[in-house]
Structure 1
């Protein structure tokens, strides 16, 4: 027989899980889907995707620098360029050129690019990290960070994904 405190703790956690699931479902109904796909246990990542993600994760905390594409400073498309260069994959330099020239992905997988902006132009790009997270260089005075994608800000500006990595 479980201790009463233990049972009460599980009951409270169960309520929390149900509440969180309800919030996730409601958020999904209220926003557009970023169409992401995380690999299952049998899918794994290619070596290129693993290198892209390792490089992007290694850049976390790097200061934003307009036009930057080195570990000393990065802008959003510079982070993409640096990360893909580490995997031996050339990409265009700007977010809009990356959006227009790279192969579209219906569902983003870890290592793919996510584009944001208005309907005329991609003004921001990030790297899908998996589990509903994106690594990006957010802007002046800030540092490369990982953010959740369920936030309305990203949902409202999402243009699509690209998959240049195998």
Structure 2
């Protein structure tokens, strides 16, 4: 599905790394905790409406990791299970080996406001919901990517319907209180899309799942009509967006500005440009159209014994951008780089 464990170097978001690359507006280069201190009367997202089997729900935390089973999380994963989710703390606490061991425990993540469909609320696993994520196509389930999410990270109340939406287009930004002081609440990711309920000179007022109104910096979002792309679906924009993540540490199952795996990078990039592609590298290689030769924005695939295990985006001039593997960061390298050139298995095109 994603990059196999290989070409490992001593890098990672773990104990000593900070995000490198240009700091985006309202996205601090240092990495404080994902959430600020909440007052006792702060509304608890995800508690307003009960979840129901067969009905939709909405992710109510910055990033919800979708686990293979309720037994998959380890003690070190506890911060990722909270509401608000403490993603930076989770990543800081994990060793490189613990990051690598996420393989087999989780395969994807969903962002604040993403819709899921609840399949099970089993009494045998209280506090957990089996869901599918319809926005992430996969051969595993025609309804969407399957997995398990803590109930506390889901809201059963449908979001407000607004004509305008705001999508985060910086790696990370702060979701802020809807007050004159606009206090920081928690950091949310690139690709997070929320309905717009108002604007101020500096901020966009948005409705988060559970009915909480909050603010986002105007400089961190793209405003667009509901159902329309946040960014224009052009080759140049796809490449520019992928390059924006240079220096971001690889995270198995990662689909956010906190960490990305190889196919998380490509699917998230295309998503913000209004193009839905399969979540994982192998089905990405089986859809779209053949690209011979590839053009900027096309996806390139790598296989061993005929099985695709990795994806990159071609950026032109014989170079590609990709998220290589645990212990490494998103990088731009030559397509002729040894280890990749020998495993090249073709390219696919999702743009005309």
Q: Is TM more than 0.5 here? A: yes
Partner Cα distance (2:252, 2:288) in 1: 22
Q: For residue 312 of structure 2, give the secondary structure of its aligned residue in structure 1.
A: strand
1:155 is aligned to 2:341: yes
1:43-82 alignment to 2 at 5 Å?
47-82=233-268
What RMSD over aligned residues (CA atoms) do the two structures have, in Å?
Answer: 1.4
1:130 is aligned to 2:316: yes
Partner Cα distance (2:321, 2:287) in 1: 21
Partner Cα distance (1:161, 1:119) in 2: 17
Partner Cα distance (2:307, 2:351) in 1: 23
Partner Cα distance (2:306, 2:336) in 1: 23
Q: Is the 8 A contact 2:287 2:348 kept in 1?
A: no
Query: Deviation at 1:47?
Result: 4.8
Q: Is the 8 A contact 2:262 2:312 kept in 1?
A: yes
Q: Deviations over 1:39-62 (max 9, x none)?
A: xxxxxxx95212211110111111
1:120 is aligned to 2:306: yes
1:83 is aligned to 2:281: no
Q: Deviations over 1:102-147 (max 9, x none)?
A: 2111110011000001242110000001111110000001110011
Partner Cα distance (1:117, 1:52) in 2: 24
Which structure: greater helix fraction?
1
1:165 is aligned to 2:351: yes
Distance 1:119 1:113, change over 3 A: same
Partner Cα distance (2:257, 2:234) in 1: 19
Aligned length: 121
Which structure: greater strand fraction?
2
Query: Deviation at 1:151?
Result: 2.4
Q: Which contiguous aligned blocks of 4+ residues in structure 1 show a shift greater than 6 angstroms? A: none
Higher relative contact order (CA 8 A, sep 6+): 1
In structure 2, what is the equivalent of residue 139 of structure 1?
325
Partner Cα distance (1:92, 1:47) in 2: 17
